[in-house]
Structure 1
Amino acid sequence: MNVSVSSDRPSWRVGGFLLLAAAVLACLSALLINGGPLYYFDTGSYIRQGNVALNSLLPTISEGGGAGGGGAADQDNTATGSRSLIYGIVMAIFFRAGALIAVPIFHLAGIFLVVWLLARTTNRSLEESHSTSLLTSVPLLAAALSSLPFYIAYMMPDIFAPVLLIVIAALTAVGRTMRGWELFVMSGLAVFSVVSHPSHLAIAGLMVPFVILAALFMKARGRWRAVILLVIVLAVAVAERKAFQIAVETKTNKEVVYTPHITARLIVDGPGMDYLNDACPDANVPTCALHEALSWSDDPYRMTVSHIIFERSPKLGSFRLMSAEDQKKVARSQRDFAQAVFLSRPIATSWALAKNGYRQILRDSVWMTIPTEQALDNARHLARLDDSQLHLIQGGRLSKYRGWLTPVNALHGFVYAVSFAIIVVLLLTPRSVPRDVKLFALFILIGIAVNALVCGGVSQPADRYGARVMWLLPFTAAFLLVIKWPAVPRVATKGDL
């Protein structure tokens, strides 16, 4: 039997290598142009928390030099559970090595690993074989035209939200064809992504019903793998949270509390404030203490989530102006408060949640990844840097001139709109791409919506939360188009004939 091949294997290998190299440079473009990583005001908190953990694991290392003074504890007897200890340890390790620039490389490695696994496992399910390097590099090149390079350079765990969504979509669509080691690596990526930020745990939890629905409609063998693995991932993440709580309570005699984002969100949206207006004063409702604190000033600008939670000035502050004991009570009771508000005002609460999710979908600028001098100073302060370490956290070129933000935001908006249109058209067109590939794309869209619901509803609509996943639109559109394009010819082997 004769097999004709339009190009030979070495030429495709060279082309694939060049495409992968171009994708790497494109993904690192924000890091290279800026001359270093991009910092958020809260980056220093992760470094400090990681240093505290490392000092506990390695008690022979002084809490002073090299640790950035990270061993110092909070002033009250609480420890925050709103940040990831695991991600903080990763960042602290690179910080102690004087190599914070390696954190974006760590982010890049995670992105390439999950996309490469997606490419090879999807390729296996196609009738015609495509080049794995092409399926890996072209979608990443398309994503690099949007927010992806900024979040690779961003010294926060946000990049692992889209990693999680890719894993869930891939497991749902082609997980039944994956080999054992591929399932293991994918699950490992999902576990790290979920434990890297509390919002990722909520996203994974809300994706479970959709994964179950997909399994119910499938007839193929192994369709329940995704459900089982996602439940295991969630169980590991919950166990990690519990282990963190036990370790903090045993080693430091502190109580782990979570910043009351949900409480503040419900108050700002209206249903929470209406509930407190009816219920307070009441000693049995701990959040009444916050209701009283909100009356200490009549400035309308205090009624934002960020001001309620973080502001300390008498004019705009409330939560931080309360006693430490009242703050603990409000933080501990936010789940009960949310339940009480929903049961008393289910329609208003649901409408507010949906409205915030919609507002979140529309926010996708990268401006929050570009640090201001105030954010940099705050990051240095929270990381407990001494004078000799201040150079470790710098703004870079992108912070000095911001005129580029307007045209870049316009470009990103255009890329997102075109990409979304391409995805929808291919999803609705019969036999445009294989069914499994359509399922993957559909789950990416569902994941973006769930991310908006979690971040907009629990915290507050912010560009940071939207832009972190929006690059999945051009990524997915390019992934579909590469698969729709004629397959790359390859040399047939005896086993193929």
Structure 2
Amino acid sequence: MSLRLHSRIAGGWAVLAAACLLCLAAVWNGQPLLYPDTPTYLRGAEMGAGKALGGRVAPWLPAEPAPAADAPASTPQAADAARPKGLTSVEDKVVLAGRSVYYGALLYASHLAGSLWLTVALQALCVAYLLQLLMVRLWGLGTRHLLGTVAALGLLTPLAAYTGFLMPDIFAGLGILAMATLAAYWQRLGRADRIALSLLLLFGLCAHASHVVIAAALLGVGLLARLSTRRWKHLPGAAFAVAGACIVAAVAAEWVFNQAVTRAVGAPPLRMPHPMARLVDMGPGTDYLRRNCPRAGYEACAFLANYPTAWDDFLFSTDPNKGAFALADAAGKRRMAAEQLRFVADVVRHDPAGVAAGVAADVLRQLALFRVDIWGYGPRELAMYEGRVPPSLYAGMRASRGAYNPRYNQWLSAATYLSTAAAVLALLWWWRRASSAGALSPAAEPRRFADFLWITLAGIALNALVCASLASSADRFQARVIWLLPFLALSALALAYARRPTETTAAASPPPSLNPSSTTSLQGSAS
């Protein structure tokens, strides 16, 4: 057996082993973790498949039994009252943008194949592939370092929980890692890995609109740094071009979805008024409406008595004393969505200092908010799924370890805060050690790792900026990427203490070029 084939087989087994470790959280729970938006993603893809195939698709929910012959006739009003309520209504031509049909297609394909566990397995393989590429093939650390790091991240950070989470959140962190890898290691990546990273990035961007904004901001920051400072001029333009092409392709995919919805239901999808909800919650929006309604003519004026209200209540609550968007009829929802940009401009003109201070405070708060709150279902949460998921899945949710049990969330949240604090200290130690040793000079190989580190840190910060600005500060938004900090710290420590067989040789000769199948280290031998 050739050395290259042996390396590929060993690498494949390492990826599979790491993926299995990442699935353990969901396995321990008894089923993948769901979120109230999960059925919405899946039903959107199901509707698209039904339109494309003329209705010949396997349904997500089983058909309701036909009424008995002697049962009283149901009136249209009774049928409407019995129908599960939601924000979307094809009959009323209300389809929401922001729930990616592409991620929904992954869920629906798993459903058609027989199990939603297939989505968990694919997400785990994506994470494992990227970590193995970085740790083993690019940094030259051994498989034991990879598996040890994955196990630590699975136990002490939200990584495994988000891998088993049937939402696109895991692709936020993977998108940041993919962009950092392309930028820092472009010359050392083979064609196959460049293609794989590009496809992973593209799917991640198609999976959620916030990922596109984060990637575009990260690309903009990188281009600005490359053009304006000598420190970053060495970053390859080809990597920026690939990232830009993925962003353009993701925007084009969203346009295709919009056109398909318009043709299918007769109206374009609605973009939920997150900025409007955020400004009402923050205060300046409420103050503006109180001073200018009904003269301003905004649809939001109809719910003035409910303000101030939390941003998520504004959007989703059907409580007549809290909600707004969900309470509006179809025409009202459409007007509210169409008015949001004008509303933002008016509120900024009304109170620019208040808006700036509120956004800045939210961004700072978001950086420190990353409790794990996706694990577990109480009575209120379970009620949100009843009638929206198949009975067998609902029964599994009720029987899962997370049902009625917040302890895992509490334990993992505490572990996440402790591991993140330790990661910050470890990275500061690594940076001081590397700087004092002259290891970060332009000719030194650790410089590539430093580039990778800074790009990833910028992605984490931009995630907080985008989520807090466009929605609001919430634990789930930052928890989805916070595992990147302990990953960077564990990798830096492993690289610092990796055995180097010939320090003088490594310092005197340029590192060899790696192809995707090589396991030779540029910073040390595989251990």
- Could you say whether these structures have the same fold, taking a TM-score greater than 0.5 normalized by the shorter chain as the test? yes
Is 1:252 matched up with 2:265? Answer: yes
Q: Which residue of 2 is the match for residue 31 of structure 1?
A: 26
Q: What's 2:310 paired with?
A: 304
Segment drifting more, 174-183 vs 148-157: 174-183
State the match for 1:96 in structure 2.
112
Deviations 1:229-283 (A, max 9, x none): 2211111111111111111111221321111111100111122223334443336
Q: 1:427 to 1:339 in 2, by over 3 A?
A: farther
Partner SS, residue 157 of structure 1: coil
CA contact (8 A) 2:153 2:486 kept: yes
Q: Which residue of 2 aligns with 1:82?
A: 98
Query: Which residue of structure 2 aligns with residue 454 of structure 1?
Result: 466
Distance change (3 Å), C-alpha of 1:336 and 1:234? farther
Q: Paired residues, what number?
A: 470
1 CA distance for matches of 2:233 and 2:145? Answer: 24
Is residue 2:367 matched to residue 1:361? yes
Amino acid at match of 1:473: L
Q: Is the 8 A contact 1:122 1:437 kept in 2?
A: no
What's the CA shift for 1:461? 1.6
User: d(CA) in 2 for partners of 1:471 and 1:463?
Assistant: 13
- Alignment check: 8 A CA contact 1:67 1:96 kept: no
Percent sequence identity over matched residues? 25
Give, as a single letter, the amino acid of the residue that structure 1 aligns with 2:426: I
- Cα 1:242/1:20, change in 2 over 3 Å: closer
Alpha carbons 2:35, 2:166 under 8 Å: kept = yes
Write the deviation string for residues 113-171 of structure 1: whole angstroms up to 9, x where unpaired.
22233346633xxxxxx246356434323322211111011111100000011012112
Which residue type is aligned with residue 92 of structure 2? D
| Runs of at least 5 residues in structure 1 that lack an aligned partner in the other structure | 1-7, 124-129
The answer on 1:292 being equivalent to 2:298 is no
Q: 1:389 to 1:179 in 2, by over 3 A?
A: closer
Aligned positions of 1:212-231 closer than 5 A: 212-216=223-227, 217=230, 223-231=236-244
2:201 is aligned with 1:197: no
* 1:403 corresponding residue in structure 2: 407
Q: In the alignment, which of 137, 155, 165 is matched to residue 154 of structure 1?
A: 165
CA contact (8 A) 1:121 1:178 kept: no
The one of 95, 101, 122 equivalent to 1:106 is 122
Distance in 2 (CA, whole Å) between partners of 1:240 and 1:17 is 31
Contact 1:419 1:473 in 2 (8 A): yes
User: Any idea what the Cα deviations from partners look like across 1:207-234, whole Å, max 9, x if unmatched?
Assistant: 1222113433357666212321221111
- Find the aligned partners of 1:38 and 1:191 in 2 and give their Cα distance: 24
1:352 to 350, 358, 369: 358
Answer yes or no: is 1:480 the counterpart of 2:495.
no
Q: Do the aligned partners of 2:430 and 2:496 also contact (CA within 8 Å) in 1?
A: no
Alignment match of 1:261 (pick from 274, 286, 292)? 274
The corresponding residue for 1:50 is 45
The answer to whether the 8 Å contact 2:374/2:409 transfers is no
Q: Which amino acid aligns with 1:27?
A: L
Q: CA deviation at 1:104?
A: 1.0
Residue 315 of structure 1 pairs with residue 321 of structure 2: yes
Amino acid of the residue matched to residue 290 of structure 1? A
What is the identity, as a one-letter code, of the residue corresponding to 2:401?
A: R
Q: Secondary structure at the match of 2:326?
A: helix
Residue 185 of structure 2: aligned partner: 174
Asked if 1 retains the 8 angstrom alpha-carbon contact of 2:15 and 2:132, the reply is no
Distance 1:178 1:282, change over 3 A: farther
| Conserved? CA contact 1:371–1:395, under 8 Å | no
Aligned to 1:143: 153
8 Å contact kept, 2:49–2:57? no
Superposed CA offset, 1:311-354 (max 9, x none): 11222222222332122111122223223333443332222112
Output the TM-score relative to the length of structure 2. Answer: 0.80
Q: Say whether the 8 Å CA contact 2:385–2:394 is kept in structure 1.
A: no
Rounded to whole Å, the distance in 1 between the matches of 2:54 and 2:439 is: 59
Partner of 1:239: 252
Equivalent of 1:378 in 373, 384, 408: 384
Instruction: Give the 5 Å matches for 1:10-21.
Output: none
The answer to whether structure 1 residue 335 and structure 2 residue 345 are counterparts is no
Q: 1:344 to 1:229 in 2, by over 3 A?
A: farther
Separation (CA, whole Å) in 1 of partners of 2:20 and 2:233: 39
CA offset digits 1:21-50 (Å, max 9, x no partner): 664443222112111111111211112111
SS of equivalent residue, structure 1 residue 381 = coil
Q: Secondary structure at the match of 2:387?
A: helix
Q: How does 1:3-14 map to 2 (within 5 A)?
A: none
> Closer, same or farther in 2 for the Cα pair 1:291/1:428, shift >3 Å?
farther
Residue equivalent to 1:280: 293
Normalised by the length of structure 1, the TM-score is 0.85
User: Is contact 1:53–1:89 with CA below 8 Å preserved after alignment?
Assistant: no
Aligned CA distance change for structure 1 residues 17 and 114 (closer, same or farther; 3 Å): closer
CA displacement at 1:484 relative to structure 2? 1.9
Q: Which amino acid counterpart does residue 371 of structure 2 have in structure 1?
A: S
Q: Which residue of 1 aligns with 2:196?
A: 185
Contact kept, 8 Å, 2:375 with 2:408, in 1: the verdict is no
Does the CA-based 8 Å contact 1:121-1:174 persist in structure 2? Answer: no
Alpha carbons of structure 1 residues 44 and 320: separation in structure 2 relative to 1, 3 Å: same
Residue 289 of structure 1: how far off its partner (Å): 2.1
Q: Over residues 79-130 of structure 1, what are the superposed CA-to-partner deviations in whole Å (9 max), with x where a residue is unaligned?
A: 111200000011011123330122211110111122233346633xxxxxx2
Shift of 1:361: 1.5
* Larger displacement relative to structure 2 (261-270 or 371-380): 371-380
Q: Would you say the 8 A contact 1:360–1:452 is kept in 2?
A: yes
In structure 2, the residue matched to 1:126 is none
Q: CA deviation at 1:375?
A: 2.7
Q: Which position in structure 2 is the counterpart of 1:127?
A: none
Say which of 114, 118, 125 aligns to 2:134. Answer: 118
Residue 17 to residue 204, structure 1, CA distance change in 2 (3 Å): closer
